[in-house]
Amino acid sequence: MSVLLIILVVLAVILGVADIRRNLITKPVFEIFKKILPPMSSTEREAMEAGSIWWEGELFRGKPQWNTLHGYAKPALSEEEQAFLDNQVVTLLKMLDDHKIVHEDKDLPKEVWQYLRKEGFFAMIIPKAYGGLEFSAIANSTIVSRISTRSLSTAVTVMVPNSLGPGELLMHYGTQAQKNYWLPRLADGTDVPCFALTGPEAGSDAGAIPDTGIVCKGMHEGKEVLGLKLSWDKRYITLAPVATVLGLAFKMYDPDGLLGDKKELGITCALIPTSHEGVQVGDRHFPVAMAFMNGTTKGEDVFIPLDWIIGGPDYAGRGWRMLVECLSAGRGISLPALATATAHLSARTTGAYAAVRKQFGLSIGKFEGIQEAMGRIGGLTYTLEAMRSMTAGAIDLGESPSVVTAIAKYHMTEMSREVINDAMDIHAGKGVQLGPKNYLAHQYFGTPVAITVEGANILTRNLMIFGQGATRCHPYVFAEMEAAANIDAEQGLKEFDGLLVRHVGFAMGNFFGSLFQGLTVGAFNSAPVSGETATYYKQLSRMSRGLALCADFSMLILGGDLKRKEMISARLGDVLSQLYIASAVLRRYESDGRQVADLPFVHYALQRCLFRIGVAFDGFFQNFPNRIVAHLVKRVVFPFGIHYQMPQDEITQQVSDSLMQPGVMRDRLTHLCYIGDKEDDPVGMVEKAFLAMFDSVPVEKKILAAQKDKRVPRKLPLAQTLELALKEGVISEHEAEQLKRTDNLRRIALSVDDFAPGELEGSAKQNKKEKSVA
């Protein structure tokens, strides 16, 4: 007993007396930490420091405060924004013929370009003081989504000027003179912008761009001024072929010391009129057969004055930080909007088509194989809308959450890919036969666009989500890294000592907290609500603890190698992502007033999230290099094994049935989907047939009852069946006409386009001839 007491006293002295602790514990750990610290380039550091930490920080730290989640205001459109959606956007949608845009003109009609300029579609993010609309992020997202359900090519054209580009950069960093000149011109459509970052040798590794700007003196407007001699070669630049002003990212050098002692200033952004001497707008790309403008730009020894740097000379070398901080517009608004639009369109049309299309005398939506796919479509559509609203809402709250927007970009575009694949599978021939009646194929073609831009999805998942999340969201790691990098070693050690004590306490709390929650299966966790969703809050809190524990062990054991263990870090990123996705679903359910009709969708989405968390954890434990640690941590987090499962068939079928049931739930689920009122509107065709079939169900039941009583024979052509049913008094003349009309609408909805021999070839030749004349 006395020996134990002595040991405890010694430990108390070592840990409690700062000088002793610092020399015996902190200093050795500090030296080890600096050795295992992952190497970090300047661009990586700027990416880490950019943006803000929002709800993802709660999830990463192991104790999410669910009342905080519920406290975030539900984003809503202002009266002005709603009026724009109801008027200008609807007018635009009626002007669009996507088949003609994509397959004939390969461009938007001139009148559409003019309308977009005139009505401010390119100026949604620009303040009213400069002539813009100054719309919220949720309005921007909703407008782009709505347009995308009609024409993806038009949606991309609209989204780019309102995403990462000259407008966004000028608003945040431009000099007052730059804002005064450029923003009004961008707002009224006088100028069309593009932004050039990606080149043949620099895609995801933007820090490796070879494009250069050399500080020198040159002639501008008849005077010798200090400026830059620029050389660049860029590709994949959306709107480049029609742009009048070019935003350009390059590496800036000052070899002659004209600005100071620093020779390499770093990535810089400048704004250049495309009419400027030496600027080459190159040939056009043709991305996945879509009609939005995309192409190349080059320049060789193009001289510009220093004042053309965005933000002026003071912002030389600060371009990468500027770009990273503004990426939330693309990752958090535009790309999630495209993904959600695909889901709204797919859910609306697939539910209708599965009811209209019959095989073996039944709507195909009654077959369980179709129901499984439709369950995914419905569940993911609900999830995507929840994520779209929550992520855009964060930006409207003034946040710039780089980790959250990376999660949204990756997972929403991947879910969109899953949804469109299922929709195409169910539509089969109707989905693959191109023509004016096809409403899915262009979304299918365009899905890879959102997946590859703003950082390809493989990069986003494997390097960004956990790479940034582990450092930025952890309460102590980033501060410890800064302490380790402190030039004043003594001061750094002192800062590190305080952080280490708190970090150890945090880690121990997560260890024992995870063990307790594992042994009790999260039963004693609190939930902010009662009812059917309470258990999800408890399980998500438990998984949040597990993530915090696994992240600490990973950084401790792997150190700098964690950066290269992409598959390990990606799985932890998947856990963080699914926690965020589940949070968005729970928040939507609460903010929508806990609608009973939503419950099948909520159950589907949350059970899927928990299942994927389990899969990610399982892969992490199976592949973690240190097998002893992997086994230990698994027994702490999951002492009884991982038992999360995908939704049961009953839930899947409930979701599927909702897609084939006209009414409020279906309308709420797919409210972004545009349905035209013209006779030849492709979505309108299948919708009319669907509603007509639903209205005809009571009449069909009369005939089925008569067939069961053998008053009307089975398996006769419709015309004969109706004739006999009328003769037997089973239905009235009006009801017979109703069934004839319904059958006609059904046939129209199921029909696909066909072309006479030589028609397609003739159309192609005519287009080529018209281009040569033009």
HEC profile for 394-419?
HHHCCCCCHHHHHHHHHHHHHHHHHH
Per-residue exposure over 413-445, b if at least 16 CB sit within 10 Å of its own CB, e if not: bbbbbebbbbbbebbeebbeebeebbbbbbbbb
User: 554 to each of 543, 559, 589, how far by Cα in Å?
Assistant: 16, 7, 34
Contact between residue 558 and residue 512 where contact means Cβ atoms under 8 Å apart: no
Contact between residue 298 and residue 231 where contact means Cβ atoms under 8 Å apart: no
Contact between residue 614 and residue 578 where contact means Cβ atoms under 8 Å apart: no
Place of tokens 């080890």: 32
What is residue 737's predicted lDDT score, i.e. its pLDDT? 94
CA dist., res. 160 & res. 180, Å (int): 21
Q: Six-digit token pair at 432?
A: 């693959």
CA dist., res. 422 & res. 430, Å (int): 13
Task: Tell which residue, 466, 401, 409, 474, has the closest CA to residue 51.
Answer: 401
Question: What region, left, alpha or beta, does residue 413 occupy, with left being phi > 0 and alpha being psi -120 to 50 degrees?
Answer: alpha
CA dist., res. 258 & res. 127, Å (int): 36
Per-residue exposure over 396-410, b if at least 16 CB sit within 10 Å of its own CB, e if not: beebbbbbbbbbbbb
Task: Tell which residue, 451, 363, 376, has the closest CA to residue 414.
Answer: 451
What is residue 79's predicted lDDT score, i.e. its pLDDT? 97
Contact between residue 450 and residue 413 where contact means Cβ atoms under 8 Å apart: yes
Residue 280, beta-bridge partner list = 298
CA dist., res. 76 & res. 134, Å (int): 15
What is residue 475's predicted lDDT score, i.e. its pLDDT? 75
Cα of 440 vs its chain's centroid, Å: 20
Q: Is 733 noted as a catalytic residue in this protein?
A: no
Task: Tell which residue, 181, 308, 190, has the closest CA to residue 247.
Answer: 308
CA dist., res. 146 & res. 674, Å (int): 7
- 245-253 and 193-196: which strand pairing? parallel
CA dist., res. 291 & res. 296, Å (int): 15
What is residue 22's predicted lDDT score, i.e. its pLDDT? 57
Contact between residue 612 and residue 569 where contact means Cβ atoms under 8 Å apart: no
Per-residue exposure over 105-121, b if at least 16 CB sit within 10 Å of its own CB, e if not: ebbbeeebeebbbebbb
Amino acid code (one letter) for 664: V
Active-site residue among 454, 480, 687, 735?
A: 454
Contact between residue 218 and residue 225 where contact means Cβ atoms under 8 Å apart: yes
At 679 the three-state DSSP class reads coil
What is residue 476's predicted lDDT score, i.e. its pLDDT? 67
DSSP state of 611: H
Rg (CA), the chain: 30
Total residues found in the chain within this entry:
774
Contact between residue 652 and residue 705 where contact means Cβ atoms under 8 Å apart: no
Complete domains list, the chain, with CATH: 69-76+327-460 (1.20.140.10), 684-750 (no CATH)
Cα of 384 vs its chain's centroid, Å: 9
CA dist., res. 507 & res. 484, Å (int): 20
Place of tokens 């069961």: 708
Ranges of residues in the chain with a pLDDT under 70 are 1-27, 29-51, 203-207, 327-330, 476-490, 492-501, 559-560, 762-774
Task: Tell which residue, 601, 669, 593, 584, has the closest CA to residue 72.
Answer: 584
Longest Cα–Cα distance of the chain, Å, equals 105
What is residue 15's predicted lDDT score, i.e. its pLDDT? 46
Cα of 410 vs its chain's centroid, Å: 6
CA dist., res. 480 & res. 504, Å (int): 12
pTM of the model: 0.92
Q: Six-digit token pair at 421?
A: 């694949």
Contact between residue 242 and residue 295 where contact means Cβ atoms under 8 Å apart: no
Of the chain, the end-to-end C-alpha distance in Å amounts to 98
Task: Tell which residue, 669, 663, 642, 515, has the closest CA to residue 571.
Answer: 642
What is residue 492's predicted lDDT score, i.e. its pLDDT? 64
Contact between residue 406 and residue 335 where contact means Cβ atoms under 8 Å apart: no
